[in-house]
Amino acid sequence: MSREEAENGRDNMEIDGCEPQSPQGNAVLDANFLKVYYGKLFPHEDIFKWMSYGNDEKHPGCDQSYFGRREFSFTLENDIYLRYQSFNSLSELEKSINEKCPVKIDIGPVYNVDPAKRNAYAKAGDNGFTPVERELIFDLDINDYNDVRYCCSGNDVCLDCWSLMTAAIKVIDTALRDDFGFDHILWVYSGRRGVHCWVCDRKARRLNNEQRAAIAGYLHVYKGNEYSHKKVSLTGPLHPFLARSYNEVLKDIFEERLLCSQKLFSSEERFEKILEMIPDESITSELRGKWLESRQSSKSKEDINVVRWGQLKHMLQSRKHKAQGLHRCVEEIVFCYAYPRLDMEGAGMSLCKIILKTTYSFCSSIVPE
């Protein structure tokens, strides 16, 4: 591919919801290291076996062109970007990777024809060169929780805030298996600050864009933005999926991990953020007064975050306020802090977007960022 073609490919490509970026600022991936990594450690055979889904010479009657229609994209040193790389065999894949030593590899969809020969089909219109299969993929990034975590910020992550990723994985994995019937689900650490979920069932790979959007919409609850205090709004009886998520995952994660590890009620600034979610000024005023007063006089050995959360729950869920529906605020607060925050513009929405930075995903434990 010429440099002009490479640059044109960059303009038409979205990766992880943003423009391709060189990972050199995050990890030192010099040429010597990459040669050793790709020559000794990179799982060429496993990648080939996975992406073939049984379509190889070992299975009679299979589609032997399947792997050759899969797009790979390489980012080389100096931010040189190569799209539409394709390989007909494991040996071709391994040889190309070892020769080029890309600093980043992205895995794309399976097209109806070999991506490397796409120009020959250009005159055939939209049906001449089009994606026909791609895994259903979801992207979860710890950065999306910056407004509800206080242990870290930016790209930093620790065991305390990783509980947010744990909750997301449990909720989404259960929904994909129990509600949609998917079986072959792979969770991949992004190598940076989050996780990717790859749903590899055949029926998932063949979903169109509208069907992918419908699944993402089913999982999407968090609607927060910088102008709204109430990030989650739950009305009427909870959907069985949401009720299961709350009772089996979110409530425990919030009360047993986040509440104390993030010290959600330890300061006025933090508890005010929670009080803003309660649409009853008389309740918020009473709680605020009680907490400001106790800050000066309390000698209790109980954790202040546990005590204040208990007081808030008791007041909202008391019989006096039940008729007003304020008891639902407790669930909304938990959902706001602990429910998965999906990238709605990310990989799960598109059949043709490329994702999974394999260099990061597989060598992150060797070269820390």
168 conformational bin, left if phi > 0, alpha if psi -120 to 50, beta if neither:
alpha
CA distance 15 to 111: 17
Q: What residues does 104 pair with on adjacent strands?
A: 75
226 as an active site residue: the answer is no
Q: How far is CA 111 from CA 105, 261, 345, in A?
A: 18, 47, 22
Report the 10 Å Cβ neighbour count for 183. 10
183 as an active site residue: the answer is no
3-state secondary structure of 362: helix
From the list 16, 71, 106, 343, the catalytic residue is 71
139 as an active site residue: the answer is yes
Cβ–Cβ under 8 Å, residues 239 and 246: no
Cβ–Cβ under 8 Å, residues 223 and 232: yes
CA distance 230 to 232: 6
CA distance 14 to 12: 7
From the list 114, 133, 141, 201, the catalytic residue is 141
> How big is the chain, counted in residues?
369
From the list 16, 94, 139, 331, the catalytic residue is 139
3-state secondary structure of 21: coil
Cβ–Cβ under 8 Å, residues 242 and 235: no
> Active-site positions?
71, 139, 141
